[in-house]
Amino acid sequence: MAVTRTFSIIKPDATRRNLTGAVTKMLEEAGLRVVASKRIHMTRDQAEGFYGVHRERPFFNDLCTFMTSGPVVVQVLEGENAVQRNRDIMGATNPANADEGTIRKSYAESIEANSVHGSDSDENAKIEIDFFFSPDEIVG
């Protein structure tokens, strides 16, 4: 299995509750290595650009407001089959549907305040990593 990279966000509901370490521990215990990490306050432009694919969805405005409501931690994660591995440990988007032992089951407050984001494909992982990181910020 190839070692690949994925992009992760620890969302404002999690940073507000001081869960950055707890979430990162679950990512690491799932076999992912944090090869880049920074705590930022996303601008409205960044949120709207990052979630541009959801622009027509009814939750788009609320989602952008939520993502700019407090600090987030953006990360690049590396590991075997990183995209799927991260999705497995995150759990379902709606925490009501997330499996026991996943980050969202453990910590998410709602479908919007669902504690973490993770890329859904290798192609999108590259786009999302490039959106927030320059190559020199990633140290594998």
Residues making up the binding site for ATP? 11, 59, 87, 93, 104, 114
State the minimum distance, in angstroms, from the CB of residue 91 to ligand CMP.
11
Q: Compare residues 36 and 72 and give the one whose CB is closer to ligand CMP.
A: 72
At residue 137, what is the residue type?
A: E
State the minimum distance, in angstroms, from the CB of residue 67 to ligand CMP.
8
Within 10 A of 85 (CB to CB), how many other CB atoms are there? 20
> Does residue 41 carry a catalytic annotation?
no
Q: Compare residues 45 and 62 and give the one whose CB is closer to ligand CMP.
A: 62
Closest CA to 66 of 41, 49, 87: 41
What is the DSSP secondary structure assignment for residue 71, as one 8-state letter? -
State the minimum distance, in angstroms, from the CB of residue 136 to ligand CMP.
26
Q: From start to end of the chain, where are the E strands?
A: 3-10, 33-40, 72-80, 116-118
Q: Compare residues 35 and 128 and give the one whose CB is closer to ligand CMP.
A: 128
* Distance, CA of 116 to CA of 12 (rounded, Å): 9
Q: Compare residues 59 and 136 and give the one whose CB is closer to ligand CMP.
A: 59
Q: Which residues of the shown chain bind ligand CMP in the complex (CB under 6 A)?
A: 54, 59, 63, 93, 111-112, 114, 117
Of the residues 32, 116, 117, 118, which is catalytic? 117
State the minimum distance, in angstroms, from the CB of residue 117 to ligand CMP.
3
* Three-class DSSP category at 57: coil
* Alpha-carbon distance values, 82 to 20, 72, 86, 87, 127 (Å): 19, 20, 6, 8, 15
Q: Which residues are catalytic?
A: 117
